[in-house]
Structure 1
């Protein structure tokens, strides 16, 4: 148990600097009696004689007092830094944010939010964790992340509060040289018989290929890749088409071929992107401000956003 206070340490160090209680009292704008009482209690608590007292000549630290005062100065400096940090936390000038997300959403929503947030909050440390959905939910429940930006897979409303950020209907990605690339919208009937290039393993929830199959289109799948960049490269070479939630960042693949994104005429379903937060954790203003950046970046991600909140 700590047997002394920061106020007592302040009186000790100022008395040592000023060479006497009266001088320290004037500097600190407190009574000399208050300082004398505090020093007496400090010596009693520590069992140390901190000052040699010389009538009419002031006070001087003993050797033990010098060692103790040096440590007291360091402790007071740490306390001052902690006080400033607490003020920064209240104002949002410092702190730490942990966000869980998926790879595609990290690139499209979370990274732009991080870059924008750091401009206005340079003292805040932001950590982003990418993982599969079950691992992210475990991290949220364990308090390891503050919020998730994820593809919706049906959060537990008893534990989580979710807000819809985006609904992503599939876009058809094609080689720019494909005959369908000149169309503004593509129908399911026009995709019949065309090979499909799949991302494997599929992402969370039903894949776009499964949505396509449920709509009655069952394409051959000659190419699969875990890399979205390689999937787009296959498409760019004319090996087939694929479906994606986001338009490509660039219209050229890693092989230098041009690809285009076209919406489907029919509604075959969509992916939903949500912000998920734990009901068990008190949310801070700092997290709220970062998530607002996520909302803003989602509104400029090249897709149609859905405004408002929903409890899932």
Structure 2
């Protein structure tokens, strides 16, 4: 056999994303390396795996679709050898695939993953980002072992273990009148333009905060990208409601943002670990869950201002 498991991994990434560019972003490998690996695999197997579309990505050929299914099976078997060695040898080792809510990943994953692989050098951690629906789908398809996400409409086949609570707050630019208030009530927001974080289930959570008080927000703009929302707010387009509390008080363009307490009692979003209920935990998964419990709590959250340390002050 003159092809490698690494080449198969690159082929799988390209086949599932339909793009060398997206595959590169997903597995953090350069585009030329992925292209070369696929070409070598096609030459070795003497088949065409993809149809290349200029500026429109890739599509699998019929034999490519069959090969993708078989390649995923081979990779799963190979990874099973690491799991078997870990379980019988008492060592935490092998690959772990982690899904993470797209709004949490920039803050949680770098510190969390680096600390874990430093503590357990025989492990490899691969992470993917997505919204809640994508993360649940990844767990069900066994594409990921665990997901760091919120307790938003968690289905019965998913086991969720809570780690930290994030109450909602109001986010405004420093020139906004709300920036000088100690707190803002839901009723105060109704007449103001809202920039909505438009992600599945997240948007329903934020809109439900208004609905429970019989209120209707005035949505001026929407975006599925957290940093777009933050930058629009910093530039005076309106306010937004967030749960995440980045340690940086600046948007990407350098303009300052101000967090303001949301008056009243509101259901927080709970950060936690989700996994498929019917699957038994491996030693590796168990070790990562323990690691997350040590790193994420109401007193400390990587990359964020933790709820227990938040100090709301009146601004003059």
Could you tell me which residue of structure 2 aligns to residue 186 of structure 1?
184
CA distance in 2, matches of 1:156, 1:220: 31
- Whether the 8 Å CA contact 1:88–1:94 is kept in 2: the answer is no
Q: How does 1:216-227 map to 2 (within 5 A)?
A: 216-227=214-225
CA distance in 2, matches of 1:232, 1:109: 18
CA distance in 2, matches of 1:168, 1:213: 20
Q: Deviation of residue 195 (structure 1)?
A: 1.1
Q: 2:162 aligns with which of 134, 148, 164?
A: 164
Q: Deviation of residue 201 (structure 1)?
A: 4.2
Q: Deviation of residue 243 (structure 1)?
A: 0.5
TM-score (norm 1): 0.62
CA distance in 2, matches of 1:124, 1:232: 35
1:156/1:230 CA distance change after superposition, 3 Å: closer
- Whether the 8 Å CA contact 2:196–2:203 is kept in 1: the answer is no
Q: How does 1:148-163 map to 2 (within 5 A)?
A: 148-157=147-156, 159-163=157-161
Q: 2:226 aligns with which of 201, 208, 228?
A: 228
Q: Deviations over 1:169-217 (max 9, x none)?
A: 2110011222322333222243242111112345447231342243244
Could you tell me which residue of structure 2 aligns to residue 284 of structure 1?
282
Question: Mean alpha-carbon deviation: is it higher for 224-233 or for 186-195?
Answer: 186-195
Q: 1:209 aligns with which of 204, 207, 210?
A: 207
CA distance in 1, matches of 2:189, 2:219: 13
1:253/1:214 CA distance change after superposition, 3 Å: same
- Whether the 8 Å CA contact 1:215–1:268 is kept in 2: the answer is no
RMSD, matched Cα: 2.8
CA distance in 2, matches of 1:196, 1:205: 12
Q: Deviation of residue 87 (structure 1)?
A: 6.3
Gaps of 5+ in 1: 1-81, 306-312
CA distance in 2, matches of 1:96, 1:264: 41
Q: Deviation of residue 269 (structure 1)?
A: 2.7
1:257/1:222 CA distance change after superposition, 3 Å: same
Q: Deviations over 1:101-141 (max 9, x none)?
A: 21112223333211210211122111112234344333323
Could you tell me which residue of structure 2 aligns to residue 10 of structure 1?
none
Q: How does 1:5-44 map to 2 (within 5 A)?
A: none
1:204/1:239 CA distance change after superposition, 3 Å: closer
CA distance in 2, matches of 1:221, 1:271: 21
1:135/1:90 CA distance change after superposition, 3 Å: farther
Larger Rg over CA atoms: 1
